[in-house]
Amino acid sequence: MQDSMTATYNAACRESERGAFDLTRGIVERLPWVEENRLLPRPFFVSQNEMLRCVSDLTDLFHIMTQLPDRLFGGDRDAYCKALGLEPEKMAMFQRFAGPPDLYGRADLYHDGQSFKLLEFNIHSALGGVITSEVSIDHLRNERFREFSVERELTHVHTGENLARCLLLAASTIVTGGSATIALIEGNGEIEKYLHEYRSLQDCLRKFGVDLILGTLEEIENRNGKLFLRGQRVHVVLRYFSDPDVFCDSRSVRAVEEIIRSHELGNVVLWTTPQSGLFHNKRCLAMLSGSADGPAFSHAERLLIDRMIPWTRILDSNSIGVHEACMEDQENLIVKPGSSHGGQGCVAGWEVSRDEWRQVLSAGAAAGHVVQRRVIPRPEEVIDPVSGAATSWDAVWSPFLMPHGYAGAFVRAVPTGVNGVINMGSSGGTRTAGVFEYPVNS
């Protein structure tokens, strides 16, 4: 079922003179980080009620996921980590932190025409898409769209503003009555790869009172339990270094140890802690899906899991029955590595031959990948505001969750039927768009 506001917007585009709703004209001059040919010509729309219900469900799932070691493994965190396939050094680092991690993450969902379905839950601090809100704000420069949004009471939740709120609140626990230094810390050699994006994030957060500085693990200095970056005291570390960055060399291991010690001493806030790695793995979704009928979950929780998570299972050497079922249902399944990101290593059964699929399942079982039932996304019609041509797109919706609740969303999309994986890095045809919410009575 098509979204009602989308239908209304597309009708307005069709009825208007060509170019009236050209929202991206000149956007590259205003937002230099934007690749104009990677933007969809319109934002996406969702009712406030539907998005808030989805976020409420995601929040409940987050809390259930962080209880998996207790619910499914009797509190044995070592057994839980082994079930995730974690190496001993990662196990030691992740288990160093008590209690659940902060609620900070981004969900990736399809809308199947009835409701949102959770494909992946990115629970960590190195989240992409934060600055896409700037595109949505820029759209409001267009007079016709601004009128359209006012008439229909459209709202946009700015992810960058919400991230700034989290960082400033974290800083207030260290510094009172003065200015705090907040540093984005990457792995060694990684800043240069994404410098354009990080500069844009700096510009975005500066609007909301955060003067973000950039650094790498090798630049961190510890002075009596306090962290310094190029001689400047750091109060909050926005963690963008990943597990591979930590264990790639001894210098990085030492730097992370210094950051964690300073965090434990209360001299810096690590946003967020590496503990989130315990629940970022896609095997967590498989544990929820595969155990939903067991005694670990209440009736309401089982309904939540069934409603939000497509059938997902872990592939391993003991999953003979799962392997056979996957061969029979090839056209409706996709295999994903447990800890990858950006669509890396995902193989859609409907895109490969039977022999290739058999090999994918065997290799996946050896590596402990997960297999997930295909969700067919609702086609999204997009009208070119200049030519008037209509095209159909498949979209993955990505709402952000932060401790205070919903923190905005963005969309990535590909032409309908083009690719089994929707990600900016997996296909040159992938486009992105911002999201506006509307009240039910609009």
Global pTM value: 0.94
Q: According to the model, what pLDDT value does residue 246 have?
A: 83
H/E stretch holding 138 reads: helix 133-139
Coil, strand, or helix at residue 218? helix
Tokens 């989308």, located at residue? 6
Q: Going along 10-58, which residue ranges are E strands?
A: 44-47
Tell me the C-alpha distance between 225 and 5, whole Å: 54
φ/ψ of 408, rounded to 5, equals: 95, 170
Planar angle of CA 376, 382, 383, nearest 5 degrees: 160
Specify the DSSP class assigned to residue 207: T
Closest CA to 210 of 260, 265, 176, 172: 172
**Is 432 within 8 Å of 395 (Cβ atoms)?**
no
Closest CA to 62 of 382, 350, 304: 304
Specify the DSSP class assigned to residue 101: P
**Is 126 within 8 Å of 137 (Cβ atoms)?**
no
DSSP letters for 294-346? STTS-HHHHHHHHHHS--EEE--TT-HHHHHHHHHTGGGEEEE-SS--TTTT-
Q: CA–CA distance from 27 to each of 18, 33, 268, 370 (Å)?
A: 18, 10, 38, 40
Q: According to the model, what pLDDT value does residue 93 have?
A: 86
3-state secondary structure labels for all residues of 336-366: ECCCCCCCCCCEEHHHCCHHHHHHHHHHHHH
Q: According to the model, what pLDDT value does residue 232 have?
A: 96
Q: According to the model, what pLDDT value does residue 421 have?
A: 72
* b/e per residue 79-114 (b: at least 16 CB within 10 A): ebbebbbbeeebbebbbebeeebbbbbbbbbbbeee
- In this structure, are strands 232-234 and 226-229 parallel, antiparallel, or unpaired? antiparallel
**Is 298 within 8 Å of 357 (Cβ atoms)?**
no
Q: According to the model, what pLDDT value does residue 164 have?
A: 97
DSSP-assigned beta bridge partners for residue 220: 229
Closest CA to 111 of 401, 440, 395, 331: 395
Which pair of structure tokens corresponds to residue 348? 């859609």
Q: What is the residue-level pLDDT of the chain in tens, covering all 442 positions?
A: 789 999 999 999 999 999 999 999 999 999 988 887 799 999 999 999 999 999 999 999 999 999 999 999 999 999 999 999 888 888 888 888 888 899 999 999 999 999 999 999 999 999 999 999 999 999 999 999 999 999 999 999 999 999 999 999 999 999 987 789 999 999 998 999 989 899 999 999 999 999 999 999 999 999 999 999 999 999 999 999 988 788 888 888 999 999 999 999 999 999 999 999 899 999 999 999 998 888 999 999 999 999 999 999 999 877 667 888 899 999 999 999 987 766 678 999 999 999 999 999 999 999 989 999 999 999 999 999 999 999 999 999 999 999 999 999 999 999 998 766 776 665 678 999 999 999 987 6
